[in-house]
């Protein structure tokens, strides 16, 4: 068994400012650069149910001007330093992040703080970004892999659940979001107590915290409301839905189940179960069957996304339209077999060793360390999680993995979505 | 270099207990004769399907159970295989690559099974109108040079190629003298070179028999591709002939691209991650800020022979392509006529300098750059690149614009939802 020994463990410092902003820092001199990752605990799950897309349009507009700088000034500050700012929104997070040269760190952190605290959402910027958002959504509607995924999430969670709606909203909802909706979303959810700032790279931890305190300390806002995620309604029956997309060459299959929350103690067993099913060796048992033995697909794999709520396990394959039925049959076979018998001893050991051994690789770049620290913070995993992870995985038994598979993997309860040309 | 001709590049980096091993072959889709398009990429797939001493099933897990990642890719000048894993695994990685170089099996039934996998990969790309447009524009811009055909190959060739074609291609190109082995990470150079010799030293030397690549004749007039294939979104692509990496015009055009569409750096590997836009870039300001395009991107990559510089635009919802094209071309014609300002040149140099730092953020990325540049430009080029970028002038960038962005050498591609018509 691999020990996953880290000669350079991640030892972040964690400081809480008076207003609740948490600053996480880790110093690394590997490259003369710094990764900054400012994550707010809000996202599309906080969209008004009748107005999906507010978090997404906020993410597209937030860096287009603050009360201190115009949109052009923001762009100038970034471009002059070769910095590309990423703003991303998921169901539960809205993140502003970038990598900059160490020499530019102070200026860039100050800019990110300004964007986070004082966006003005200029009306003309909202209109331009709205058109971009609609264009991006229409591109998704022309992409069978995205159509199949959205269809599947709709089956699994239903439109009433935040996971059943798309992050980007709809053409109609994007058209009716107003500036006031964005301002209110920011004021309500993007507040100091919901912000975690990770700073990783060639800057001394003390100096990084001092800079963060200077940028964020005076900011005062009420604590954001707690909006718990309801568990999804479990399905007893298999559901199959199809979206016909004329003119496409390949059909995309999405096949899945709802699972557990990230904080569930069964998480590690589920993770290993998914790795056996659709990850290990570039696609696990699924790829071995569908790609290697039957030559039907370039990709066949599964992903497991336990998060704040009960996230999905999704199996995906892109195949010739003539092979859709055969591929779904092959997925049924693999799901049924793993659900009934669990992994073999060798699969269990290979998976465990691979997940433990992968840790140093996951913590190689400043950006990836910042993301890892944010992840451990979000789910309360502790500052020493990189050192504890091997024992978390090592404590899982083969029976635990078998039980995880038995709980989830049942073809009779599967949700199946297919998007592509007619078979 | 080993006695059998294998080039070996080692760089010690001890910040993490990791090693990245890449084995590069100087063969890509630019080395394929008519009728065998896609053979290099298919051969890459076959090189994961078992060797004399590693069965197909072992091959998938041999690196992963050690916590490592593995992959490979094929492009126009190169085929490469990589593993990044704990440095304690270096023997396994070298053994794997030596096996791949000398004794892949190409079992007939595996070749057949992989045929449909590769065709599935092709069909998956056909689902994306943006990729289809790029393929058509590239094939229109390059009519003679084999860079013009897609790396994945034309469907008919994939349907008709035989096991003998695949194995023949492997035997012709997979040999020490046609390869560069790159090892970067937590290793001792002398020690790892001894290990390289142990695994690769006994592979016999062989002469490289490269196909002659036909040169692309000069383009004498604008070319145009219009696709009407349904869908929801309109795309525009503009392609211009671009110099090879070794030509003096490459770095000025790279800096000009930073002015036009934002700096991306020079790493195909990092480019897979995507770069958010730089908003002071001229085309972004002219098209996205003005609401005509939802996105703009430019691609200029280092290649052994002259290839293309392409600019791609996603039309904002409801904007006709003729309006978008007019605006894009007038921005391009302006830079060709007036050049760039000293301030823009200085910003482009700063951006590219930062990109070179950002794209060398891991042993995997650093090893990629060493091998990639050795394959397309030969030894020494990468070390000089930062200096060449620091010295590029506004005058040279203006000259690059005049030389590269002419109306008579451009290829214009439209992909438009049929419902809108023209």
Of A69-73, A267-271, A348-352, B64-68, the least confident: B64-68
Could you tell me if A201 and A314 lie in one domain? no
Nearest C-alpha neighbor of B41 from the set B138, B153, B131: B153
Any domain includes A233: no
Average pLDDT score over chain B? 95
Any domain includes A380: yes
Mention every residue, 6+ apart, whose C-beta is less than 8 A from residue B404: B240, B241, B242, B243, B249, B253, B256, B309
CA separation for the pair A302, A334 (Å, rounded): 12
Looking at chain A, the whole-number percentage of residues with pLDDT higher than 70 is 98
Which residues in chain A have Cβ-Cβ distances shorter than 8 Å to B318?
131
For A82, which of B230, B233, B353 is closest by C-beta distance?
A: B353
Per-residue pLDDT at A423:
59
Any domain includes A223: no
Residue of chain B with shortest Cα separation from A355: B67
b/e code B395-412 from CB counts within 10 Å (16+ = b): ebbbbbbebbbbeebbbb
Could you tell me if A262 and A374 lie in one domain? yes
Any domain includes A227: no
pLDDT digits (tens, 9 = 90+) for A384-418: 999 999 999 999 999 999 999 999 999 999 999 99
pLDDT digits (tens, 9 = 90+) for B35-72: 999 999 999 999 999 999 999 989 888 999 899 999 99
Beta strand extents in A32-163 (DSSP E only): 33-40, 86-89, 94-101
Residue of chain B with shortest Cα separation from A127: B291
Per-residue pLDDT at B16:
87
CB-CB under 8 Å, B317 with A134:
yes
Any domain includes A4: no
- In 3-state terms, what secondary structure has residue A28? coil
pLDDT band at A6; cut points 50, 70, 90: very low
Could you tell me if A128 and A70 lie in one domain? yes
Mention every residue, 6+ apart, whose C-beta is less than 8 A from residue A402: A341, A342, A343
pLDDT surpasses 70 at A2:
no
Per-residue pLDDT at A341:
98
Could you tell me if A359 and A324 lie in one domain? yes
Chain B CB within 8 Å of residue A155 CB: no
Could you tell me if A22 and A110 lie in one domain? yes
Per-residue pLDDT at A8:
60
Question: Which has more pLDDT, B396 or A217?
Answer: B396
pLDDT digits (tens, 9 = 90+) for B284-336: 999 999 899 999 999 999 999 999 999 999 999 999 999 999 999 999 999 99
Best mutation target among A29, A249, A317 (most B Cβ atoms within 10 Å) is: A249
Residue of chain A with shortest Cα separation from B46: A292
Residue of chain B with shortest Cα separation from A357: B67
Per-residue pLDDT of chain B (422 residues; tens, 9 = 90+): 999 999 999 999 998 899 999 999 999 999 999 999 999 999 999 999 999 999 998 988 899 989 999 999 999 999 999 999 999 999 999 999 999 999 999 999 999 999 999 999 999 999 999 999 999 999 999 999 999 999 999 999 999 999 999 999 999 999 999 999 999 999 999 999 999 999 999 999 999 988 899 999 999 999 999 999 888 999 999 999 999 999 999 999 999 999 999 998 888 888 777 777 789 999 999 999 989 999 999 999 999 999 999 999 999 999 999 999 999 999 999 999 999 999 999 999 999 999 999 988 899 999 999 999 999 999 999 999 999 999 999 999 999 999 999 999 999 999 999 654 33
CATH number reported for the structural domain that contains residue A83 in this entry: 3.30.830.10
Looking at chain B, the whole-number percentage of residues with pLDDT higher than 70 is 99
CA separation for the pair B79, B28 (Å, rounded): 6
Average pLDDT score over chain A? 95
**Mean pLDDT within A26-31:** 91
Which residues in chain B have Cβ-Cβ distances shorter than 8 Å to A246?
230
pLDDT band at A145; cut points 50, 70, 90: very high
**Number of A:B CB contacts under 8 A?**
200
Which residues in chain B have Cβ-Cβ distances shorter than 8 Å to A7?
16-17
Any domain includes A232: no
Which domains, from first to last, does chain B contain?
7-200 (3.30.830.10), 223-417 (3.30.830.10)
Cβ atoms within 10 Å, residue A3: 12
B119's enclosing H/E stretch is helix B108-126
Could you tell me if A244 and A204 lie in one domain? no
CA separation for the pair A286, A290 (Å, rounded): 6
Any domain includes A1: no
CA separation for the pair B108, B227 (Å, rounded): 38
CA separation for the pair B133, B338 (Å, rounded): 30
CB-CB under 8 Å, A297 with B117:
yes
Last residue of a domain, one of A184, A216, A248: A216
Decide if A245 contacts A147 (C-beta within 8 A): yes
Could you tell me if A29 and A151 lie in one domain? yes
Per-residue pLDDT at A3:
37
Could you tell me if A312 and A176 lie in one domain? no
Decide if A295 contacts B158 (C-beta within 8 A): no
Could you tell me if A212 and A255 lie in one domain? no
Could you tell me if A249 and A176 lie in one domain? no
Could you tell me if A269 and A202 lie in one domain? no
**Mean pLDDT within A87-98:** 97
pLDDT surpasses 80 at A212:
yes
What is the extent of the structural domain holding A312?
Answer: 239-420
Could you tell me if A203 and A332 lie in one domain? no
Total domains in the fold of chain A: 2
Chain-centroid distance, C-alpha A310: 14
pLDDT digits (tens, 9 = 90+) for A304-356: 999 999 999 999 999 999 999 999 999 999 999 999 999 999 999 999 999 99
For B65, which of A75, A100, A354 is closest by C-beta distance?
A: A354
pLDDT surpasses 50 at A267:
yes
Any domain includes A340: yes
CB-CB under 8 Å, B357 with A295:
no
Best mutation target among B14, B184, B235, B279 (most A Cβ atoms within 10 Å) is: B279
- In 3-state terms, what secondary structure has residue A331? helix
Nearest C-alpha neighbor of A315 from the set A152, A174, A180, A191: A152
């Amino acid at each position: 068994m691999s020990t996953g020994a880290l000669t350079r463990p991640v030892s972040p410092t964690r400081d809480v400012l008076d207003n609740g902003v948490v600053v996480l820092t880790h110093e690394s001199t590997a490259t003369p650069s710094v990764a900054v990752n400012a994550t707010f605990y809000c996202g599309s799950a906080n969209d008004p149910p009748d107005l999906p897309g507010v978090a997404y349009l906020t993410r597209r507009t937030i860096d287009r001007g603050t009360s201190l700088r115009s949109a052009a000034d923001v762009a100038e500050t970034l471009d002059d330093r070769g910095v590309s700012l990423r703003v991303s929104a998921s169901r539960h997070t809205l993140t502003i992040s970038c990598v900059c040269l160490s020499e530019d760190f102070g200026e860039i952190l100050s800019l990110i703080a300004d964007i986070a605290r004082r966006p003005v959402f200029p009306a003309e910027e909202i209109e331009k970004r709205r058109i971009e958002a609609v264009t991006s959504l229409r591109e998704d509607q022309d992409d069978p892999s995205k159509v199949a995924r959205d269809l599947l999430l709709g089956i699994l969670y239903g439109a009433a659940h935040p996971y059943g709606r798309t992050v980007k909203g709809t053409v109609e909802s994007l058209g009716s979001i107003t500036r006031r909706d964005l301002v209110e979303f920011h004021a309500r959810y993007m507040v100091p107590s919901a912000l975690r700032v990770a700073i990783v790279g060639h800057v001394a931890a003390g100096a990084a915290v001092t800079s963060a305190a200077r940028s964020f300390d005076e900011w005062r806002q009420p604590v954001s409301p707690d909006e718990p995620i309801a568990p999804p309604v479990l399905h007893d029956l298999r559901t199959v839905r199809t979206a016909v997309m004329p003119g496409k060459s390949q059909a995309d299959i999405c096949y899945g189940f709802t699972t557990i929350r990230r904080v569930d103690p069964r998480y590690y067993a589920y993770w290993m179960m998914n790795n056996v099913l659709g990850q290990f060796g570039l696609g696990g048992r699924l790829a071995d069957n569908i790609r290697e033995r039957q030559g039907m697909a370039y990709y066949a794999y599964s992903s497991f996304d336990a998060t704040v709520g009960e996230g999905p396990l999704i199996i995906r394959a892109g195949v010739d339209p003539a092979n859709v039925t055969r591929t779904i049959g092959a997925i049924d076979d693999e799901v049924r077999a793993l659900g009934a018998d669990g992994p073999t001893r060798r699969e269990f050991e290979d998976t465990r060793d691979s997940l433990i051994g992968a840790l140093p690789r996951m913590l190689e770049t400043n950006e990836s360390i910042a993301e890892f620290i944010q992840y451990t913070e979000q789910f309360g995993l502790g500052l020493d999680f990189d050192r504890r992870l091997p024992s978390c995985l090592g404590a899982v038994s083969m029976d635990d993995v078998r039980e995880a598979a038995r709980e989830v993997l049942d073809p009779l309860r599967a949700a199946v979505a297919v998007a592509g040309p007619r078979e | 270099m080993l006695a059998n001709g294998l080039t070996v590049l080692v760089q010690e980096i001890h910040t993490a207990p990791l090693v990245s091993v890449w084995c590069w072959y100087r063969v890509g889709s630019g080395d394929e004769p008519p009728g065998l398009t896609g053979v290099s990429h298919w051969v890459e797939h076959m090189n994961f399907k078992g060797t004399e001493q590693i069965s197909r099933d072992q091959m998938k897990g041999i690196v992963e159970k050690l916590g490592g990642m593995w992959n490979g890719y094929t492009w126009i000048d190169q085929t490469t295989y990589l593993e990044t894993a704990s440095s304690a695994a270096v023997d396994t990685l070298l053994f794997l690559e030596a096996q791949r170089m000398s004794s892949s099996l190409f079992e007939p039934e595996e070749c057949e099974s992989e045929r449909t996998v590769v065709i599935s990969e092709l069909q998956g790309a056909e689902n994306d109108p943006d990729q289809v447009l790029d393929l058509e524009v590239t094939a229109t811009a390059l009519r003679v040079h084999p860079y013009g055909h897609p790396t994945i190959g034309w469907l008919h060739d994939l349907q008709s190629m035989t096991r003998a074609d695949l194995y023949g291609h492997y035997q012709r190109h997979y040999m020490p003298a046609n390869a560069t082995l790159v090892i970067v990470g937590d290793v001792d150079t002398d020690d790892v070179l001894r290990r390289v010799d142990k695994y690769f030293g006994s592979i016999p030397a062989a002469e490289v028999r490269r196909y002659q690549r036909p040169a692309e004749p000069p383009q004498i007039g604008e070319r145009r591709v219009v696709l009407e294939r349904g869908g929801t979104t309109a795309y525009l692509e503009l392609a211009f002939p671009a110099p090879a990496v070794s030509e003096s015009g490459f770095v000025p055009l790279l800096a000009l691209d930073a002015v036009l569409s934002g700096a991306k750096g020079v790493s195909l590997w990092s480019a897979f991650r995507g770069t958010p836009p730089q908003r002071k870039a001229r085309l972004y300001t002219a098209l996205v800020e003005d609401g005509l395009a939802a996105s703009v991107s430019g691609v200029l990559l280092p290649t052994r022979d002259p290839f293309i510089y392409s600019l791609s635009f996603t039309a904002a919802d409801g904007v006709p392509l003729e309006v978008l094209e007019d605006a894009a071309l007038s921005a391009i014609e302006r830079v060709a006529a007036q050049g760039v300002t000293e301030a823009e040149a200085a910003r482009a140099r700063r951006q590219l300098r930062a990109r070179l730092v950002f794209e060398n953020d891991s042993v995997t990325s650093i090893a990629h750059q060493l091998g990639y540049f050795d394959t397309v430009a030969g030894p020494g080029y990468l070390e000089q690149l930062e200096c060449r970028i620091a010295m590029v002038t506004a005058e040279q960038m203006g000259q690059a614009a005049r030389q590269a962005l002419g109306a008579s050498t451009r290829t214009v591609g439209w992909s438009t939802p049929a419902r809108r018509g023209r």
